[in-house]
Amino acid sequence: MRRIERCFERLAGQNRKALIPFVTAGDPQKEVTVPLMHAMVEAGADIIELGVPFSDPMADGPVIQLACERSLAHGTSTLDVLAMVKSFRESNSDTPVVLMGYLNPVEVMGYEAFARAAAEAGVDGVLLVDLPPEEALEVKPIMDEHALDLIFLVAPTTSDARIKLIGEAGSGYLYYVSLKGVTGSASLNVEEVAGRVETIRNLAKLPIGVGFGIKDAESAQAVSRVADGVVVGSALVNQVDKHQNEPAAINQAISDILSAMRTAMDT
């Protein structure tokens, strides 16, 4: 069984929901990321989404745009990100790691070379924001061959027919984008999300993670009541931004937020 599937199964058995933090790899410096990943697991993270920086993050708001800029300023490459995962795996073989980013840095490596290197490094899933299932026909079998889950987004604007299509094309989990907008946008409407998650459940079999607009323990708790996983990104990356000149403080600041979310989600 793949790591992500196993993770959701274990959580379901415990009647708990997945806490899924996102940070941009190499932000603000390369050496910050691996210790931060361990700290996040320590604070209650079940799955880690690691952002692969891209020069033109079209679906991201200013917080993650700046994170990409900081990371790219000292040349974080896709291979660097894979090296970070490999290093993380030296002392963690349980926590799934999902790479999240845009298609071009993957395409430039070549699908086969990327998939092989990612699997070797210990990556479990890949979420490419600008790759809808219609354009993933070529890459999907290559990811499968290397036991990598290809994770797709579902949006508030996604039709029922598309939800079915996405449910069949993807594996691991579905990432429901809770609002129309970029990352770091305004707060989500929990009732609306609950309704949509129910619709998705009826049309697709995969576990559902919800992201965009989750800022604190309260919103994490509310979403965890309806979804299988809670994704938090900009609220954490904000802390990296705030402490970029004192990286030693980053782990603590992010751990504090995650611990509070974990406690709220588990009560």
Residues 39, 103, 253, 264: which binds another protein (CB under 8 A)? Answer: 103
Provide the token pair at 150: 């290809």
Q: Is 35 in the site for another protein (CB under 8 A)?
A: no
Exactly one of 27, 46, 49, 241 is catalytic; which is it?
49
Q: Give the position of tokens 């697991």.
A: 41
Q: Would residue 49 show up in a list of annotated catalytic residues for this protein?
A: yes
Burial status of residue 183 (CB atoms within 10 A of its CB: 0-12, 13-18, 19 or more):
buried
Cβ 34 to another protein, closest distance in Å? Answer: 20
Cβ distance to another protein smaller for residue 244 or 259: 244
Q: Give the position of tokens 């899933």.
A: 125
Specify whether the CB–CB gap between 53 and 76 falls below 8 A. Answer: yes
Alpha carbon distance 201, 167 (integer Å): 10
Alpha carbon distance 4, 97 (integer Å): 8
CA distance to 8, 17, 41, 95, 239, per residue, from 263 (Å): 18, 11, 14, 19, 20
Exactly one of 60, 124, 149, 241 is catalytic; which is it?
60
Alpha carbon distance 46, 49 (integer Å): 10
Residues 23, 36, 117, 131: which binds another protein (CB under 8 A)? Answer: 131
Q: Is 61 in the site for another protein (CB under 8 A)?
A: yes
Cβ 63 to another protein, closest distance in Å? Answer: 12
The contact mask relative to another protein for 160-189 (x = CB under 8 A, - = no) is: --x---x----------x--xxx--x----
Residues 132, 189, 194, 218: which binds another protein (CB under 8 A)? Answer: 132
Q: Is 247 in the site for another protein (CB under 8 A)?
A: no
For 64, phi then psi, to 5°, come to -80, -25
Provide the token pair at 115: 């998939």
Alpha carbon distance 172, 166 (integer Å): 12
Candidate ranges 70-78, 90-98, 117-125, 218-226; the one touching another protein (CB under 8 A): 70-78
Residues 8, 22, 54, 173: which binds another protein (CB under 8 A)? Answer: 54
Residues 39, 59, 119, 264: which binds another protein (CB under 8 A)? Answer: 59
Specify whether the CB–CB gap between 22 and 49 falls below 8 A. Answer: yes
Q: Is 50 in the site for another protein (CB under 8 A)?
A: no
Cβ distance to another protein smaller for residue 178 or 251: 178
Q: Is 199 in the site for another protein (CB under 8 A)?
A: no
Q: Would residue 60 show up in a list of annotated catalytic residues for this protein?
A: yes
Q: Is the peptide bond before 141 cis (omega within 30 degrees of 0)?
A: no
Dmax over CA atoms of the chain, in Å, equals: 48
For another protein, the binding residues (CB under 8 A) are: 54-62, 65, 69, 72, 77-78, 102-109, 129-132, 134-135, 152-159, 162, 166, 177, 180-182, 185
Catalytic residues: 49, 60
